[in-house]
Amino acid sequence: MDNTLFKKNNKRVQHAWVFYDWANSAYNLVITSAIFPIFWSVLTSDDNGGNTVKFLGITFNNDTLISYVTALAFLCVVVLSPILSGIADYTGNKKFFLKLFCYLGSLSTIGLYFFNLENLFFGLLFYLLALIGFWCSLVFYNSYLPDIAKAKDQDYLSAKGFSYGYVGSVLLLAINLFMVMSQETGAEKMQMMRYSFLTVGVWWIGFSQYTYKYLPNFKNKNRITKNVIFSGYNELKQIWVEIKENLILKRYLQAFFMYSMAVQTVMLIATYFGVEEIEWGEGGASMGLIISILLIQFLAIIGALFTSFLAKKIGNIYALISINMIWIVACVYAYTIHTPIQFYITACIVGLVMGGIQSLSRSTYSKYLPKTNDTTSYFSFYDVAEKIGIIIGMLLYGVLGQKTGSPRFSILFFVLFFGLGVVFLFRVPKKN
């Protein structure tokens, strides 16, 4: 779209923006949460029930190895985001970087088709690059929100984006599950899982083209220099100085860091918790986990839209406080569960608050931003804070799980962070 024709609150532009959620959320569901974890578990388990894998001459537990690769991906995102957002702000070319990481992520996802133990290094490399592509693209995607919508419309538009993502990802997952479950032998099912990786990559690339057609390009004639490359870190320092002087934004980010650390970690380890702690019986964990994931995705659509409605009635901060309280209840209940039915109940609770807390957190942050053209850097700061929280959360989860011998205590421990999030949210001053 020609930037000279662009006006904020253009409905076509907004629809194109939310459609990127439809395009890329299939990766987060199929690869991160559903098909790939099952594929990885089957691929790295032997006939005797062992679950170790040898990589670079070292023997790892399969979950440990994939966790290390995931952590490395998040570390790369934390390092890259400031550099790239600084360049994007200086050149105005955030659309280029959105497309760049979209293509990196989607093509790497297609590369997962070739994932096998004989070429494990390249398989894990594709997994790493897909993660980097997905999360880095979100930095530039999120930064468009204050550019294309007025403050009063951002809650709804943010929730609409998440809702599109949930619908699109569940649709593709349903197709992928039909492909897998229609096969009879284990080898045939594994092959269908590989085809699922292809469909995710093609889906991501294909549907994002609609976004690129209408999303505005703010590119200018500034040229990239050596100073510009590292200006992102300087911008983050400057933004940190500005945030410290902005009491509302400072208090909100303190709260966000606490509860987001817990939310993101719980979401990342939920599948592993279900495998280890729930007594699935003869049917096994795979189908039960997939049912849970579908429940979460369906209810997340309702939850995201209801949260937007709730925010209009009681305000963003009190809506976030309410959602955090429900998360606390969910974590305490999860500590006690053992049966599939109890796990499904937990999934329903999580689904209702998962989409709501993500969409409302994003739009609340957008509302609190000062008037600036450097929205990419502000959202890079937001993204870096979120990813550092994930790294800390995963480390705490691992240490507590190792010390106690059960992830139950780790889940219960995250009640503390949700509680701190509530405390900090109460300290956010009312916006005049």
Over residues 126-156, the pLDDT tens digits come to 999 999 999 888 878 877 887 788 877 877 8
Q: pLDDT band for 272, please (50, 70, 90 cuts).
A: low
What tokens appear for 37 in the block?
């974890």
What's the pLDDT score for residue 53? 79
Mind listing the pLDDT tens digit for each residue in 10-38?
888 888 899 999 999 899 888 887 788 88
Kindly report each contact of residues 68-76 with a partner whose C-beta sits within 8 Å and lies 24 or more positions away, as own/partner. Answer: 69/124, 69/127, 69/128, 70/131, 70/268, 70/394, 71/391, 71/394, 72/128, 73/128, 73/131, 73/132, 73/135, 74/131, 74/135, 74/387, 74/390, 74/391, 75/391, 76/128, 76/132
pLDDT at residue 318 is higher than 70: yes
CA–CA gap between residue 307 and residue 391 (Å, rounded): 27
Residue that is written with structure tokens 């796990």 in the block: 343
pLDDT at residue 2 is higher than 50: no
What's the pLDDT score for residue 320? 93
**In this structure, what is the dihedral angle of CA atoms 414, 416, 422, 427, given to the nearest 10 degrees?**
-130
pLDDT at residue 426 is higher than 80: yes
Enumerate residues 6+ apart whose C-beta is below 8 A from 63: 51, 272
What's the pLDDT score for residue 242? 84
pLDDT at residue 240 is higher than 90: no
Q: What is the DSSP string of 196-258?
A: HHHHHHHHHHHHHHHHHHHS-----SPPP-HHHHTHHHHHHHHHHHHHHH-HHHHHHHHHHHH
Crossing angle for the helix pair 247-277 and 375-404, to the nearest 10 degrees: 40
pLDDT at residue 416 is higher than 70: yes
Q: pLDDT band for 285, please (50, 70, 90 cuts).
A: low
Higher pLDDT, 230 or 160: 160
What's the pLDDT score for residue 113? 94
| Contact of 51 with 61, CB cutoff 8 Å | yes
| Overall pTM > 0.95 | no
**Residues linked to residue 200 through DSSP beta bridges, in sequence order:** none
Task: Kindly tell me the sign of the dihedral angle through the C-alpha atoms of 90, 94, 98, 99.
Answer: negative
pLDDT, average across residues 368-388: 77
Residues of the chain with pLDDT > 90, as a percent, come to: 22
Higher pLDDT, 328 or 240: 328
What's the pLDDT score for residue 201? 96
The amino acid present at 235, given as its one-letter code, is: E
What's the pLDDT score for residue 68? 79
Mind listing the pLDDT tens digit for each residue in 51-107?
677 888 777 777 777 777 887 888 888 888 777 776 776 676 788 889 999 999 999
Q: Which domains does the chain carry?
A: 3-219+226-426 (1.20.1250.20)
